[in-house]
Amino acid sequence: MPFETLRALPVHFAAILSFAALIVCSGTPDRAAAADGYSAGDAYVPPTREIGNPITDRLALRISYTQATAHTTLRIDPTGVPNGGTTFSGERDLGLASTNPDGRVELMLRMGARDRMRVDYLQLDRTGDALLTHPVVFGNETFLANEEAVSSLNWKAMGFTYTHAFLQTRNFEAGAGLGVHLISFDAIGSVPATFQTHETSEAGAFPTIALDAMWRISSRFAFTGRGQYLGDTLHTFSGSLGDYHGDFQYRWRSPFAIGIGYSYMRASFQSVGHAGSPGRFVMSLAGPELFVRVSF
């Protein structure tokens, strides 16, 4: 499914990665050459595996808890009537919670010295109950002002990301690659007093271009940053997906690490004169997180 344009990667996030790369790549020429994994010849020598070094971990499981802030914009078009629905806010108009405790699971598998596969899963289910302040065309139903509307919005996202390290030293790694997110949502709106209800759902695969970096600050501390994005427009749809993350972790005791971070995800799609589409869907999730990481 194609995507619309998303705001660029935050300047502070990019600046941190650049600063990390500058520090790691500085130093004497001899030490830099050895750290880069090259011997006196031209052959590349992967960094020696060390227990507790996230750059040489072969397998890692990361479970995080976040207090995410959600913003949702919806337009559910009637069947066969493109752009015929009402654009509304899920949080302001339908009473969906804007702050949500949430969990995310991530699995990393290193395939060789420079190649990694990351799989992550996120699910967010919300319900709302609100008195409408204005009429809302919700699919094939029209909900009137001053009616009590009950709604639910279920969101699921599973990502698969492959990256190849184009720069790798004992304490720093930077890579690029491709990813795909499988995303689905299901929205239900109803007015119990008038027995009106409408349900719509959508699912699709969202490809992305991925960049990531990891800096081992010391034997116990490390910084990780990554970003994924792609947007496009075709004759029937426009849309985008952006997923950004940064964290600091502390190696408490091998193989366990704990840490804090911040994540931001935004998914958007909108029909362009296509009668079979549910209309428009934009949702962003952002917030700090705490996590536990187990690696081998």
CATH code for the domain in which residue 80 is found = 2.40.128.100
Contact criterion met (CB below 8 Å) for 119 and 107: yes
Closest CA to 181 of 240, 129, 135: 240
Q: Please report the pLDDT score of residue 8 as a whole number.
A: 36
In-domain check, residue 1: no
Q: How far apart are CA 284 and CA 276, in angstroms?
A: 24
- pLDDT range class, residue 143, cuts 50, 70, 90: very high
- pLDDT band with cut points at 50, 70 and 90 for residue 20: very low
The answer to whether residue 3 is domain-embedded is no
DSSP class of residue 77? P
Question: DSSP letter at 50?
Answer: -
Residue 220, both tokens = 């116990």
CA distance 143 to 131: 10
pLDDT at 4 over 80: no
Please indicate, yes or no, if residue 279 is contained in any of the structural domains.
yes
Torsion, CA 144, CA 145, CA 148, CA 149, rounded to 10: 60
Identity of the residue numbered 149: A
Amino acid 54: pLDDT = 85
Write down the pLDDT at residue 235: 56
Interatomic CA distance for residues 115 and 161, integer angstroms? 11
Question: What number is the average pLDDT over the span 133-160?
Answer: 94
In contact, 148 and 97? CB cutoff 8 Å: no
Q: 175 lies in a domain?
A: yes
Asked if the model's pLDDT at residue 2 lies above 90, the reply is no
Are 127 and 96 in contact, with CB atoms under 8 Å apart? yes
pLDDT per position as a tens digit, 232-273? 775 566 788 999 999 999 998 888 999 999 999 999 888 765
Kindly state whether residue 90 falls inside one of the protein's structural domains. Answer: yes
Q: Is residue 252 part of a domain?
A: yes
Burial 125-161 (b: 16+ CB within 10 A, else e): ebebebebeeebbbbbbebeeebebbbbbebebebeb
The domain in which residue 143 lies consists of: 11-295
Helices and strands in the chain: count of H runs, count of E runs: 3, 13
How many domains is the chain partitioned into structurally?
A: 1
When mean pLDDT is compared across 6-20, 172-186, 282-296, the lowest value belongs to 6-20
The pLDDT assigned to 256 comes to: 93
Is 2 contained in some domain?
no
Write out pLDDT tens, residues 96-129: 999 888 889 999 999 988 999 999 999 999 999 9
Q: Is the residue at 6 inside a domain? A: no
